[in-house]
Amino acid sequence: MRHPQILNRNQTALLIVDVQTKINAVMLDGETVVESTVKLIKAANTLNLPIFMTEQYPKGLGPSDPKILEALQGMQPIQKMSFSCCGSEQLMSRLKEQNIKQIIVTGIEAHVCVQQTALDLLAQDFQVHVPQEATSSRKQLDYQTALERMSRAGVVLTTLESVLFELLEEAGTPEFKEVTRLIK
C-alpha cells in the first residue's frame, strides 16, 4: 500500500499555468521554470500523462514560451481571463472526464494564478503537487508567501525529481531510463 500523497501516474495530469514569454522575462529564475517545465512535459509524454496548458489573456500578454510550445508539439493552450485555471469550464470538464485525481501544477506567477488555481483545485477535491523549481514570481516575498500559504492549505510542495521518481515508481523499466536522462 502506498501513501496517498505519492503520485500515481494512472490518475495524474500536468497543468502548466501561463508560462508566457512576456511575463516570464521578469520572473525570478524564469529560465529554471521553463527548463523544469520542459522536463516535466517530456516525462509526462513518456509516461502518457495528460497535459494541460493555459495562457492568461494572450492578446495582451503574448504566447507561451517557445521552448514549452516546442516540447508540447503543437498542443493548443486553453486561453483564460480568470486568474484561477478553474475558471475554465473546458479545463475542468476535461480533468473530470479523464478521472484525474492528482495534478502537478507548474507556472507563474506563484502568488497569483498558480496559487488561486491550486486552492480552487483543492476545493474541488483534487490533490495538488507543486514542484517548487517549476514556479516563480517577480518578488521573492510573493513566491515564499505563496508556497507557505499553499502548503498550509494542503498543497504538496515538492521538487521536480521527487515528482519524476514517484511517477516512475520503479527502476529498470524503459520509462525509467528515458526519464532519468532528463535529470542528468
Grid cell at residue 79: 486561453
Helices (H), 66-159: 66-71, 89-97, 115-123, 140-153
Report the SS3 class of residue 111: helix
- Could you give the CA distance from residue 171 to residue 177 in angstroms, rounded to a whole number? 8
Which residues in 44-126 belong to E strands, given as ranges? Answer: 51-56, 78-80, 102-108
Q: State the greatest distance between any 2 C-alpha atoms of the chain, in Å, as a whole number.
A: 48
Active site residues: 18, 80, 113
- DSSP lists the bridge partners of residue 13 as 103
